[in-house]
Amino acid sequence: MNATQPASTSTGRALAARMGTVGVWLGNLNETSTQLSQAAAAEIECLGYGALWISEGYASKEAFTHAGLLLAETERMIVATGVANIWARDATAANAAAYTLSEAYNDRFLLGLGASHGPEVNVRGHAYSKPLTAMRAYLDAVDEAGYDSPRPLGPRTGYWARCGPECWPWPGIVPAVRTPTW
């Protein structure tokens, strides 16, 4: 890191380098048994991919639990939520889950957050309104959340928000990972 480069940018670049230029996104792992999902993750790692992205939908596998099961069957590959729905849990729970997985699996977990879609939010009993405002407030709450258990050895590997540049709350800091929004 040079003197003009913020630590978070350096950490983000290190994470991006560990992930490589191409990862695998498999939303359909939610539709397979745990054993098949774990075998797929191990095979993806054996093929040399640096990252596996998993999804979370209404009434599908819970994102953090699923990530932990996949991390348990891999040794080097990063497992990322692409995305964990901000309406499925409060920010303190998401923060604690991310720290727990990062600490348990040598900083190989990446928390991806998203505001989801109206139908998936409304069915949970929330009113889907102003997703950009909700996302900004959630990211602030994650930053303010406490965590009293052991933390990963390194700095937080970061999290990313799937919402477009207007949602990113840290001007001048480029996120480690960007995905298309739709």
Angle (nearest 5°) at CA 175 between 173 and 178: 145
97 to 11, 60, 89: CA distances (angstroms)? 20, 18, 10
Q: Using one digit for the tens of pLDDT, what is the confidence trace for 40-51?
A: 999 999 999 999
Return the bridge partners of 85, or none.
114
pLDDT, averaged in runs of 10, over the chain (182 residues): 43 77 89 96 97 90 97 96 90 93 92 83 84 86 89 64 55 48 37
Q: What is the pLDDT of residue 5?
A: 38
pLDDT at 12: 66
Can you give the pLDDT at residue 136?
A: 83
pLDDT, position 88: 92
